[in-house]
Copies of this chain bind each other. A is one copy, B any other.
Amino acid sequence: MHRRKICVVITARPSYARIRTAMEAIREHPKLELQVITAASAILERFGFPDRVIEAEGFSIDYKLHTMLEGGNLVTAAKSTGLGIIELTSAFQALAPDAVVTIADRFETLSTAVAAAYMNIPLVHIQGGEITGNIDNKVRHAITKLADLHLVASEPARRRVIAMGEEPATVHVTGCPSIDLAARILRDPEIKVDLFAAYKGVGPTFDWHQPYLVVLQHPVTTEPEAAGFQAEETLHAVHQSGIPTFWFWPNIDAGSDATSHAIRAFRERYRPQNIHFFKNLPPDDFLRLVYHSLAIVGNSSVGIRECAFLGVPAVNIGKRQQNRDRAPNVIDIDHDRRQILAAIETVKRQPRPQPSHLYGDGRAGERIADLLATEPLHYEK
């Protein structure tokens, strides 16, 4: 029996978290064969070599493709996407998958979508139909129009994909696989390693059994020139709060150089004694760290999605997550150090929010694998 070859393309650290349980389910499914390609920032040291994390968790990677131009600006985002198409085309030619899976909405994921669509390989899109506040919207919806099978996280997402003209029979609500990881964390919530010994990073160490914050703040691609300022506001607020904080390095993106620069300059100048900087953590320990935290601060979708399920407060700054569907755990504020500090003080005082199943119930991975094994795979609409 021919097992369907399913090629998952991972181009960034956070995308792995959003597909990992589906990859496990594909690998173990009797009718499926898993292929894995890593590219773009998923193989770079600056992001903690996510490819090595993937391999350490037992996946074998078929191709590691360097496609990311250095520069962290709009020009390099566009060119990296073009180079990604070229490289992925050759990789798909060699792997001859029955379907290609692309995840969410980062700029370089459009490379995956274009290469597969143009080669008449059925394209599966995970996490279409959502709404955010920048170029990601354009990218996500463009991928929807190139995709043949839509495995979405939520009912509102399903309605939006169909409203864009996609055939309802090709749109399925699976929940988001990142919630599966969060569900596992609930069953095994203890951090078993010494975080500082295991994951290094720079900055002071402290006792993480005391209340602490987690910060994850990405530059907003439509406001690259503001990235430095935005990072500074959060740095000042977190510094001033005095609460021990784990700060995670930003994604590669237009503006990320400015963010990195602002962080370095702040550290040089203020030598903040309550902030430890990590490049990356394995997804499980990252989620455990978030789960036990006082709050997640920044503009990551983790605050909106995983933290909804986990019932962790999210101090959500600025417009990056604008328009996303929200559970009650989210506090929205501007890039303003006083607002940020006030929000941190609020979550300290209030009870933890109720968990929500808005983005999934913890079984997305197996649902995705089952659909990939049974749905018709075609490339004509």
Contact = CB atoms under 8 A, between A and B. Distances in A.
Question: How many copies of the polypeptide does the oligomer hold?
Answer: 4
Nearest to A164: B164
Contacts of A165: 141, 160, 163-164
Given A90-B90, A107-B118, A69 B68 contact: yes
Contacts of A70: 44, 46, 66, 68-70, 252
A19 to B, nearest CB: 22
Interface in A56-78: 63-78
A145 B139 CA distance: 8
A71 B68 contact: yes
Interface in A205-252: 222, 252
A135 interface: yes
Interface range on chain A: under 10, 10 to 19, 20 to 34, or 35 or more?
35 or more
B71 A114 contact: no
A165 B20 CA distance: 31
A48 to B, nearest CB: 12
A257 interface: yes
Interface string A87-109: 10111011000000000000100
A249 to B, nearest CB: 12
A58 to B, nearest CB: 21
Nearest to A41: B70
Contact of A202 (B65, B94, B264): B264
Interface string A152-167: 0000000010011100
Interface of chain A: mostly helix, strand, loop or mixed: helix
Contacts of A117: 135, 138
A334 interface: no
Given A63-B94, A66-B69, A137 B78 contact: no
B82 A137 contact: no
A65 B86 CA distance: 10
Contact of A79 (B86, B135, B252, B261): B86
A78 B163 contact: no
A119 B71 CA distance: 13
B74 A66 contact: no
B78 A118 contact: yes
A126 interface: no
Contacts of A160: 165
A173 interface: no
B63 A43 contact: no
A188 interface: no
Interface in A186-217: 202
A381 B138 contact: yes
A300 interface: no
Interface of A: 43-46, 63-79, 81-87, 89-91, 93-94, 107, 110-111, 114-115, 117-120, 134-135, 137-139, 141-146, 160, 163-165, 202, 222, 252, 257, 261, 264, 268, 379-381
14 contacts: A45-B257, A45-B261, A63-B90, A70-B252, A81-B85, A81-B118, A82-B84, A110-B114, A117-B135, A118-B135, A134-B380, A139-B146, A141-B145, A164-B165
